């Protein structure tokens, strides 16, 4: 593993898709993450994620095995140690907020996998920043699988305009097309 510390400005011009997901490692969700990382790398994207285990490891492994890059944005406040072995570049942040802000800043699009409260936080922040115009129009938010659909439907029932930036993909094979057509 080649691991370097990078500053945000060094990678801002790259084609990076940020993947949000859980640190849990269920087979189904990790398979989804692996396939997502692999397909994005094959399409010429680097991926970025939180850099640790679960779906973060699975997506980074998929990208690495397809010859792609995986940027891990880790947090020194966590006691988790180093990034997983498939991360090729690491950005170390000092807080959870800085970590999430970095993942949002370097992403040219966002893929959200099933997850828990941490993934919900990531989705909610990127979604609200997008709705308020703080994130460029050309950065899609793609939710993979049906996990988040009940939440999207609930939000849409109160504010139909709020879902204009959300795209739903039933499976990872649809992600590239949604990015290209956004």
User: Edge-to-edge strands of the sheet including 141-144?
Assistant: 89-93, 70-75, 46-49, 16-20, 110-112, 141-144, 166-169
DSSP secondary structure string for all residues of 20-42:
E--S---HHHHHHHHHHHHHHHH
Q: Is 8-181 assigned to CATH 3.40.50.450?
A: yes
Token pair of 178 as six digits: 């949604």
* Reported pTM: 0.92
What's the rounded Cα separation, in Å, for the pair 12 and 150? 33
How many other C-beta atoms can be found within 10 angstroms of the C-beta atom of residue 3?
Answer: 14
Instruction: Please list the rounded mean pLDDT of every run of 10 residues in the chain (182 residues).
Output: 48 85 92 98 98 97 98 90 93 96 97 97 97 91 97 96 95 96 88
pLDDT of residue 13: 61
Sorted by sequence, the CB contacts under 8 Å of residue 170 that are 6+ apart come out as 145, 146
pLDDT of residue 81: 77
Radius of gyration, CA atoms only, the chain: 15
Question: What are the sequence ranges of the domains in the chain?
Answer: 8-181
Q: Give the orientation angle of helix 96-106 with respect to helix 117-131, to 10 degrees.
A: 50
What's the rounded Cα separation, in Å, for the pair 146 and 98? 29
């Amino acid at each position: 593993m080649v691991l370097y510390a990078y500053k945000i400005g060094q990678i801002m011009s790259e084609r990076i898709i940020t993947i949000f997901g859980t640190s849990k490692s269920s087979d189904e969700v990790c398979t989804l993450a692996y396939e997502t990382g692999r397909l994005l790398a094959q399409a010429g994207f680097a991926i970025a994620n939180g850099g640790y285990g679960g779906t973060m490891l699975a997506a980074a492994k998929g990208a690495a095995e397809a010859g792609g890059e995986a940027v891990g944005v880790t947090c020194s406040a966590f006691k988790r140690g180093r990034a997983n072995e498939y991360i090729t570049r690491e950005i170390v942040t000092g807080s959870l907020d800085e970590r999430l802000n970095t993942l949002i800043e370097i992403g040219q699009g966002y893929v959200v996998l099933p997850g828990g409260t941490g993934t919900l936080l990531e989705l909610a922040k990127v979604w609200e920043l997008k709705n308020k115009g703080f994130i460029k129009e050309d950065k899609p938010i793609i939710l993979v699988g049906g996990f988040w659909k009940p939440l999207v439907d609930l939000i849409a029932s109160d504010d139909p305009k709020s879902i204009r930036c959300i795209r739903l993909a039933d499976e990872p094979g649809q992600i590239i097309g949604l990015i290209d057509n956004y």
